[in-house]
Amino acid sequence: MARNFRLPGSIKWSGASIRNPRVVMRVIMGILLVANLAAAVIAFKPFGGSAEDLRQNQQSLQAELTTLRARLAKTKQVAERVETARTQGDQFLAKYFLSERSASASLLQDLDQMATEAGIKMGQASFQPQEIEGSDALYMLSIQAGFEGSYANLTKFMNLVDKSPRFLIIEGMRAAAPQQQGQQRNAQPALNVTLKIDSFVNTQPGAPI
């Protein structure tokens, strides 16, 4: 005679129920569900790991934090260098470059002052602006001017141009034959020299005059 008995979960078993395919499938599905839950607990450890696992996780997080701090410090250094370079660049432009508002007048005044100091005469001058490729805030201003004086005085003038606080470049020079007529016997012959001198202009707002 078949006996009725209970399993946990209030599932009733009997001889007739065991022979029922639906009951058997439910039992198998229940067993599979329990097995899957057990595997998930082992794999994901939802209730926390062992002390060794926690220590390893802490070490991993500490290493990651150290790396992030190092990257942050390096980024700050790069930002500081960029700011320093920008400041130095602005100072260089203010010191050596001409302002667009007074470029021609300032350049003429500087060259005339150096010519007077060198003991030569400055003649007529013409200007020619030229764009600088890759820059929309700077351009080159070339001046072509004639000068008259002795060889020694002209040499002194070119040295003054080379040491000028402005960023000036002597691009070319064309000399005429010495003038011999009307000069004293022991006097040095006067030379006529045409110089092409390049300067640079800053068009940014707020540039010094």
Residue pLDDT, tens place only, 9-48: 444 545 555 566 776 677 778 787 777 777 666 666 555 5
Bridge partners, 201 (sequence order): 98, 139
Summary mean pLDDT of the chain: 79
| Cα–Cα distance, 145 to 155 (Å, whole number) | 16
Q: Which residue has the higher pLDDT, 204 or 97?
A: 97
Q: How far is CA 71 from the centre of its chain?
A: 18
Burial grade of 127 (CB within 10 A; 0-12, 13-18, 19 or more): middle
What are the backbone dihedrals phi and psi of residue 61, each rounded to the nearest 5 degrees, phi first? -65, -40
Q: What is the pLDDT of residue 46?
A: 54
pLDDT of 113: 94
Angle between helices 151-162 and 103-118 (to 10 degrees): 140
**Segment 185-203, tens digit of pLDDT:** 556 678 899 999 999 888 8
Give dist(CA 59, CA 90) in Å, integer.
Answer: 47
pLDDT band at 8 (very low <50, low <70, confident <90, very high): very low
Q: What is the C-alpha separation between 204 and 151, in angstroms, rounded? A: 40
- Angstrom CA distances, 10 to 2, 13, 37, 207, stand at 18, 10, 21, 91
Burial label, 51 (beta-carbon count in 10 A; 0-12, 13-18, 19+) = exposed
Most confident option among 93-97, 115-119, 171-175, 190-194: 115-119
Q: How is residue 164 annotated by DSSP?
A: -
Token pair 């960023």 in the structure block, residue: 167
